[in-house]
């Protein structure tokens, strides 16, 4: 089944009671039993809920996985994953990552004895040199947030093979429509469902998917024990959003390409970070492991002045200055003071998050209108 068909049909079925084509919102906390332990597969909605269950099956199917679990946020999903580790275990993470991921690693889990190493993952060798007997996880974002770096998933899998190391991929930017890390050998995929899977800026949610039975068992145990689950109404909204995932991502990609090329030729722009350029580092890797290059773009300004960046993000009219990404509307952000403010200045600048860096989440509006908006905002 092709992914566009999966997006509409996978994991969902007409309601048996009514024939409703859309999965009902089971807004309930508990379920009546015919006798002790004699129930219809549901006992308590923290453990399982029919609406959430349908969504978990849908996301798993999109990623060609056997198991899926949904959480109250992307960070709650990461929280579940790191809780599979033990004190003394070590994690090798990309050094260019979402600020919230960095924050939960450093300020929450580090004090419980888990060691995190942040490494430039553009070369597989850099990670291979960091692996030791305590390494239990390789944490990958690709494309990365906000530098759009492309990490070779197959390469990372090859150096982890046979070493009892989980390879985990944050696939939020690419979505299952453009990239399927499990097919490339990864063990776990994480999504901030808030972004492209939901697609309408009205839900906060996270998800994990895997085909590994042992990891899945731990995933469900922690999901139930820690209780960071998502609600039935939110699950319904994402089920609805996923039905248009393929057509939305196609438009995001088309608009993203036009805007990236416009910025590349603008006199005020210094560098443009978008995986579709042949000059982009690891562009060939992107071509091999992705089916398109997406609608996320970052760029810096000539002179690298903070005040210039702050002026531009205020001058836009169609682009909204906001956190988050992946919705149908176009967003603009300033990573150094917004999404990545929790990362120390010297650390973020080493990975390229300089003061003039601006990040765009290109929406699905008419591209001509978006180009006009950026042109007027960039004008002197």
In whole angstroms, what is the distance from residue 158 CA to residue 138 CA? Answer: 12
Map tokens 């697609």 to a residue.
Answer: 199
Active site residue 170: yes
Phi, psi of 135 (to 5 degrees): -70, 125
Which sign, positive or negative, has the C-alpha torsion 150, 153, 158, 162?
A: positive
Q: What does the block give as tokens for 248?
A: 């939305």
Rounded Cα distance, 175 and 241, in Å: 13
- Among residues 79, 96, 170, 234, the one annotated as catalytic is 170
Concatenating the DSSP letter of every residue in 346-372 gives HHHHHTT--TT-EEEE--SS-HHHHHH
Which residue in the list 98, 102, 177, 196 is annotated as catalytic?
98
Q: Match 């419980």 to its residue by tokens.
A: 112
Q: Please report the beta strands in the chain, taking only residues with DSSP state E, as ranges in sequence order.
A: 67-71, 90-94, 115-119, 135-141, 166-170, 188-192, 206-210, 269-273, 296-301, 320-321, 331-333, 358-361
Task: Please tell me the distance from the alpha carbon of residue 144 to that of residue 106, in angstroms, as a whole number.
Answer: 18
Q: Which of 136, 195, 248, 359 is catalytic?
A: 195
* 46 flagged as catalytic: yes
Q: Is the C-alpha dihedral spanning 32, 36, 42, 48 positive or negative? A: positive
Q: What is the chain's percent helix, strand, coil content, to nearest 5?
A: 40, 15, 45
> How many of the other CB atoms lie within 10 Å of CB of 106?
16
The enclosing H or E element of 249 equals: helix 245-264
Give the active site residue among 46, 57, 66, 268.
46
Catalytic positions are: 46, 98, 170, 195
């Amino acid at each position: 089944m092709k992914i566009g068909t999966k997006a509409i049909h996978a994991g969902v079925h007409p309601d048996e009671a009514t024939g409703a084509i859309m999965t009902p919102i089971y807004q309930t906390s508990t379920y009546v039993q015919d006798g002790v332990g004699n129930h219809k597969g549901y006992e308590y909605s923290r453990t399982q809920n029919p609406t959430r269950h349908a969504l978990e099956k849908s996301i798993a199917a999109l990623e060609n996985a056997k198991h899926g679990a949904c959480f109250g946020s992307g960070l709650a999903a990461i929280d579940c994953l790191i809780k599979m580790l033990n004190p003394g275990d070590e994690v090798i993470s990309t050094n260019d990552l979402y600020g919230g991921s960095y924050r939960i690693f450093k300020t929450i889990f580090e004090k419980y004895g888990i060691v995190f190493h942040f490494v430039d993952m553009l070369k597989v060798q850099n990670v291979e040199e960091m692996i030791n007997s305590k390494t239990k996880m390789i944490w990958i974002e690709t494309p990365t947030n906000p530098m759009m770096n492309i990490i070779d998933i197959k390469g990372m899998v090859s150096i982890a093979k046979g070493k009892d190391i989980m390879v985990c991929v944050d696939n939020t930017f690419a979505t299952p429509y453009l990239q399927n890390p499990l097919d490339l050998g990864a063990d776990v995929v994480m999504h901030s469902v808030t972004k492209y899977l939901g697609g309408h800026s009205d839900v906060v949610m996270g998800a994990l998917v895997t085909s590994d039975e042992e990891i899945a068992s731990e995933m469900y145990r922690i999901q139930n024990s820690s209780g960071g689950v998502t609600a039935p109404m939110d699950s319904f909204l994402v089920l609805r959003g996923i039905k248009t995932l393929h057509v939305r991502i196609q438009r995001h990609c088309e608009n993203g390409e036009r805007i990236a090329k416009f910025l590349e030729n603008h006199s005020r722009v210094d560098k443009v970070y978008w995986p579709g350029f042949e000059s982009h580092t690891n562009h060939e890797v992107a071509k091999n492991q992705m089916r398109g290059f997406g609608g996320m773009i970052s760029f810096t300004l000539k002179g690298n002045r903070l005040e210039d960046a702050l002026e531009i993000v205020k001058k836009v009219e169609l682009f909204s200055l906001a956190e988050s990404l992946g919705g149908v509307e176009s967003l603009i952000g300033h990573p150094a003071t917004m999404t990545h403010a929790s990362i120390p200045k010297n650390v973020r600048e080493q990975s390229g998050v300089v003061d003039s860096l601006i990040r765009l989440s290109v929406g699905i509006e008419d591209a001509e209108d978006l180009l006009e908006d950026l042109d007027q905002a960039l004008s002197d």
